[in-house]
Each structure stands twice: as structure tokens, then as C-alpha cells.
Amino acid sequence: MEKAAENRRTIAFLGLGVMGGPMAGHLARAGHRVIAYNRTPSRASKWKEALESDGLSVATASTPADAASAADVVITCVGNDEDLEQVLLSDSGALGVMKPGSLLIDHTTVSAHMARRVFAIASEQEIDAIDAPVSGGQAGAENARLAIMCGGTDKAFRRAEPVMQAYGARIVHVGSAGAGQTAKMANQMCIAGVLGGLSEAVRLVQASGMDSDKVLEAISGGAAQSWQMENRWKTMIEGDFDFGFAIDWMRKDLGYALEEAERLGLSTPVTTMIDQFYADVQVMGGSRQDTSALIRRLPQGKQP
């Protein structure tokens, strides 16, 4: 009991979207005192009511600063660079009230430049900070099975890892500040390329009139196997694209990846092409559909 009390933290969690909401809930279930902020107050209220109905005591705040003022740890999980700047660096932002010796964990997927900027400002205030974008989608957040790639100092990572274990299944320290974001860019580039090939393969099988379940059984045990194949092959065939991670967000992430690659003088023809394919799906009305909706831009072809 004493050990549980010793490990209990006061945590400000900023951002209760499809990822942040479940993650903040896991922290409350792990015994931490969670004070949450969300730009849409009604979402924060629903989150609080749901957890209280499970017998958990949580709180909400009207501004990021109000949430962070008494926190040992501040965790952010918002949309993009601009959102992160608003919750951390604005007049009502959290960094302005965080105490020296506290810890900042950013789970937002942002640019590497933004991650390094936040790290520098936090360091000036004697705050440990890591950039820790996540992968695993809504299901990973809900089931506490997220992969987390972390950039920052060894000290900050050692402090953050026990907190993140409430919702992370694989937590890896990949390098200095900004490295977590660069790893997430690589992650998104890999997903985009896989979905491009998978979309074409599914259409080939459909046009051939084959039993798609049998084909999946045959090829998913070999070198073609991937998470996307295991989890999205059947849903792509069924035209089901409601899985939480929207194409709008993928294009945001790929944009950061393409910017960083350009800064490093790299050529990215596949990522550039898939990004434009996603733009096509946006024009078709698929902006809020899951990334596997990439298949929608491909006609089904003629069956024999």
C-alpha cells in the first residue's frame, strides 16, 4: 500500500480525443490523480462522468494552466504543432505554470522542430521533457497496447517510462529530443507504403474472383504479412473504414515526414506518391475515414 502511494502522481492530461481519452483513463485506473483538460468542455465532462461511473475520482480544468498548476507530470496528446503550442506556450498554457523538477510527456505527433523547441524551453525552466508519439491507433489506446517512441534525455525517459506503462506495451528510448518524432515519421511512412501495396493486392484478388479469405490465409503467413494485412484486409473488402485514425491526420503526419526528409536532403518518391493518393481520397469525401480507405481510389476492375 505504501509503495502504491509512493508511485501515485498528480498528472495533468491535456487532450481527450480518441487516443488521449483512453490513455488518461488508464492513468486514473493505475491510481494516479488525473486532472484533464480538453478544448471542447463537453468531451471532458463525458470523460469525467464515464470514469466516475466506474468508481474513479478524476477532475477537469478550464485551461491547460489550471490543469497543470499542481501537477507533477503534464501529458499532452493533441493534434498538431499549432495545438501543442496553444496548450503549452500560450498565455493559458501549461509550461508557464509548471514547477521546476516536474515532467512533461508529449504524445502528440508534431514536427521534430517543434519537439526540440519544447524541449529547449522546458530545459530552461528545469523541467524534464520527452517527445513520445504513439502508434497503435484507437484500439491500442483503449487496450493499453500502444507502441511509444521516445526522444529526450536518459533521465527524462527513466522518469517517464513508469507513467507510460499504464497504456504502453512497447516503450523505446530512440534518441535525443526530437528523435521520437522522427521515429514516428518513419512509422507513418512504412504504414503508408504498406497500405498502398495492400490496396492494389486486395483489388487484384477481388477482380480475379478468388476467395479472399483463402488468399489471406495463404499469404499472411509469409513475407507479405503485416499488421495492416492482418487487421485491414477483410475490412477493406467490406468497405468498412471507421477505425479512428483519419486520413486528415495521416496527411498531417506525412507532411511532417516529407518536411524533415527535405531538410535532410532525402528523396521520398513513395511517400510523396501515397500522400497524393490520400489527397485524392479526401476529395472523394474520405477525410475522416481510416487510412485503409486508400483503396477507395482504385476501381474494382472486371471480374472473370
pLDDT tens for 264-295 read: 999 999 999 999 999 999 999 999 999 999 99
The residue type at 44: A
Q: pLDDT tens for residues 126-175?
A: 999 999 999 998 889 999 999 999 999 999 999 999 999 999 999 999 99
Q: Which candidate, 213, 219, 220, places its Cα nearest to that of 234?
A: 213
The residue type at 213: D
Arithmetic mean of pLDDT, 15-22: 96
What whole-number distance in Å separates Cα of residue 77 and Cα of residue 79?
A: 7
Q: Is 149:172 a contact under the CB 8 Å cutoff? A: yes
pLDDT at 86 over 60: yes
Cell output for 167: 497504456
Cell output for 298: 482504385
Q: Is 104:98 a contact under the CB 8 Å cutoff? A: yes
Q: How confident is the model at residue 7 (pLDDT cuts 50, 70, 90)?
A: confident
In Å, what is the CA distance from 250 to each residue of 174, 208, 281? Answer: 22, 30, 12
Q: How confident is the model at residue 15 (pLDDT cuts 50, 70, 90)?
A: very high
pLDDT at 6 over 70: no
The structural domains of the chain, ordered by start, are 2-176 (3.40.50.720), 183-297 (1.10.1040.10)
pTM for this prediction = 0.92
Q: Is 154:130 a contact under the CB 8 Å cutoff? A: no
Is 155 considered catalytic here? no
Q: How confident is the model at residue 124 (pLDDT cuts 50, 70, 90)?
A: very high
Write down the catalytic residue from 184, 234, 252, 302. Answer: 184
The mean pLDDT value of the chain amounts to 95
Which pLDDT belongs to residue 214? 97
